[in-house]
Amino acid sequence: MITEEKALHVARRIADDPKEIVDIVANSTEYYFKFKGHAFSILQRSRADEKSGLLSFYVYPKWTSTTEDLKMAYDVSCRITAHGFG
């Protein structure tokens, strides 16, 4: 399991070396990308959520496909849940 401390460390490393950010795919207000072969996303909300704030940083440690595939996987998952199937 990835702890908050480890996620913050990774986010700082990404910010310190932005040239290593590749395979960027946008989906509305979420941006999927790879950094040194690992998949991540950042979600920006229009209003701050009490629990999560304006931004959420997600790590996909086992994802091996493209970020386009990752975006599509979560897009379909959200649609299924929104329509009451999940």
Domain spans, the chain: 4-82
pLDDT band at 80 (very low <50, low <70, confident <90, very high): very low
* CA distance readout (Å), 25 to 21, 52, 67, 70, 82: 11, 22, 6, 9, 22
Please tell me which of 4-8, 12-16, 26-30 the model is most confident about, judged by mean pLDDT: 12-16
Q: Average pLDDT, stretch 71-81?
A: 67
DSSP 8-state symbol, 19: G
Q: Which pLDDT value is given to residue 86?
A: 45
Give 62 or 79, the one with higher predicted confidence.
62
pLDDT band at 85 (very low <50, low <70, confident <90, very high): very low
Mean per-residue pLDDT over the chain, rounded = 83
